[in-house]
Amino acid sequence: METLLISACLLGVNCKYNGGSNALPPEALERLRQRCRLIPVCPEAAGGLPIPREPSERRGDRVVSRSGQDVTAAFLRGAETAAALAERFGAKKALLKSNSPSCGSGMIYDGSFSGTLTPGDGVAAEYLKRKNVDIFHDILELFQD
């Protein structure tokens, strides 16, 4: 059975910045559980940020909250935790929350808090890619064999 690192919010854990989740539909979760050993992670919570918390976005190499607080150190700690989990459990793939300043891959919010997307990776996704973990945001892409 394949090991999959997965954003905890996709499993229904209320760890989003606003205290909610991004739970996948029950049928998608069941399909994942049948095919994969799931290793949940919320890099932001693992990095020490509270739930709920202010939304944050990347600005270059920094991550800032809506009020302007630099939260880069917490995002880096969370990214290191995600990468360590992937290595410890042998996860070569990760299903992560799209557009997130932690988990986004390919597109993330631009740092203006206007809802504008820009090319880039979240901090954890960036770390995982360096460890040769393939990042997915769509369960259908994940299961294209």
What are the structural domain ranges in the chain? Answer: 2-142
Q: Is the pLDDT of residue 81 over 70?
A: yes
pLDDT score of 145 more than 70: no
Residue 142's pLDDT is 77
pLDDT-based confidence at residue 132 (cuts at 50, 70, 90):
very high
Distances, alpha carbon 12 to alpha carbons 26, 44, 101, 111, 133, in Å? 10, 16, 19, 26, 23
Average pLDDT over all residues of the chain: 95
Could you tell me the pTM of the whole model? 0.94
The secondary structure element, H or E, covering residue 97 is none
CA–CA gap between residue 102 and residue 100 (Å, rounded): 5
- pLDDT at residue 143, as a whole number: 74
Average pLDDT over residues 115-126: 97
Please check whether residue 5 is in contact with residue 85, taking contact to mean a CB–CB distance below 8 angstroms.
yes
- The token pair that represents 43 in the structure block: 């890099």
Residue 140 has pLDDT above 80, yes or no: no
Q: Examine the pLDDT at 144 and tell me if it is beyond 80.
A: no
pLDDT at 124: 98
